[in-house]
Amino acid sequence: MLSKKYINDGKPFLILNQLQQQVKREVEEKIKNGVYIFEKTRCPICENFSDFDTLFKKDKFGLECNVAACKKCGLLMINPRMTQNAYNDFYDKEYRRLYFGKEATEDNLDIDFEQKTPRGINIFEFIKEKANIKEFNNQYVVEIGCCSGANLKPFKEAGAQITGLDLDTKYLNYGKIHKALDLNYGSISDFKFEKSPDIIIYSHVLEHILDLDKELKRIKEISKASTYIYIEVPGILNFLNRHNDKTYIMSIGIAHTFYFSLNSLKYLFEKYGFELVYGDEFVRALFRRSERDIQYDINNLYVVHNNYLKNIERIIFFRKTKILKQKIKNKIRKILWKTKKL
């Protein structure tokens, strides 16, 4: 384990509002009573099943969450994790209330859509630039895990045909009724595509998917040689930039079953015949089906990932120490100033 503060003591790293505290108790009760069952799983990159190093035993909410590093390739993943049935129930009943701390009322859905609109614009501009797409009139854009469709809106406004898929009917209905977007209930596995997409978007979704083997095979099945696959996930080598002086456990949540760096994501996609077009450690990445045989060769990232996380611990410790010293100095100055005035 990286630090004793990550033991499973039930204490959250976040300040939880009343709703989040209630939902946390509901999840804990289900785990305790065996309603939410956990299972061991293989690494989707190297197929390792038994050689893992546990880094965290709880997430930012204080929930049981065994995040481990694969010693064969370095991928971080929850292992053991909840079963698919347990996750389905969790996403249906607790996920959004726990993560966002509010109920899905119409007013909240309005706010949520507006807050997500800038991300959709950023994704649009990123794909337009990195894929060198001049016009979107003839483009067919599909988003998996589209929520209410905010990411798809700029593509539609640019003339693209869009399709969004999600499993949350409240958010889907909001996007369909209030934003006139083509959103559908379902996953990439069960949706019948009439034609191959030109662009497939996974924005903060891939890290939630349990069966990556099934997902990547389906992507390959419905795509064509020219299809771009856009992936955005929280990059583990960008944790410090995301949270500044806060601990990187702020990126650790029970809903995130995998934690990628750009290279670990690249290895996963190469395994299924995709090559990286462009990527960064944010992580934002574009992939396409490779026209050549990819030499699937993994460099073990275990040491790279672990050293980075350990260095963050040191940086945060020294920052907090420096801030504490400055606070003490300021208190002493105030005391001395008051003493002089007496």
Res. 337: pLDDT tops 70: no
Question: Domains in the chain: how many in total?
Answer: 1
Q: 178 lies in a domain?
A: yes
Best CA proximity match to 233, nearest among 269, 215, 258:
258
Q: 329 lies in a domain?
A: no
CA–CA distance, 302 with 267 (Å, rounded to integer): 13
Res. 11: pLDDT tops 70: yes
Burial, 341: exposed, middle or buried (Cβ in 10 Å; 0-12, 13-18, 19+)? Answer: exposed
Q: 149 lies in a domain?
A: yes
The pLDDT tens digits for 246-298 are 566 788 999 999 999 999 999 999 999 999 999 999 999 999 998 877 777 78
The pLDDT tens digits for 207-232 are 999 999 999 999 999 999 999 999 99
Q: 35 lies in a domain?
A: no
Percent of the chain with pLDDT over 70: 90
CA–CA distance, 4 with 33 (Å, rounded to integer): 26
Calculated CA dihedral for residues 47, 251, 145, 91, nearest 10 degrees: 90
Res. 339: pLDDT tops 60: no
Q: 214 lies in a domain?
A: yes
What per-residue confidence (pLDDT) applies to 106? Answer: 85
The pLDDT tens digits for 50-109 are 999 999 999 999 999 999 999 999 999 999 999 999 999 999 899 999 999 998 888 899
* Predicted TM-score of the model (pTM): 0.90
Q: Which residues pair with 164 in a beta bridge?
A: 143, 183
The pLDDT tens digits for 20-55 are 999 999 999 999 999 999 999 999 999 999 999 999
Q: 82 lies in a domain?
A: no
CATH, residue 192: 3.40.50.150
Residue range(s) defining the domain that contains residue 226: 101-289
The pLDDT tens digits for 113-149 are 999 999 999 999 999 999 999 999 999 999 999 999 9
What per-residue confidence (pLDDT) applies to 241? Answer: 74
Q: 322 lies in a domain?
A: no
Token pair in block for residue 48? 């390792």
* C-beta atoms surrounding 31 within 10 Å: 17
Q: 96 lies in a domain?
A: no
What per-residue confidence (pLDDT) applies to 292? Answer: 77
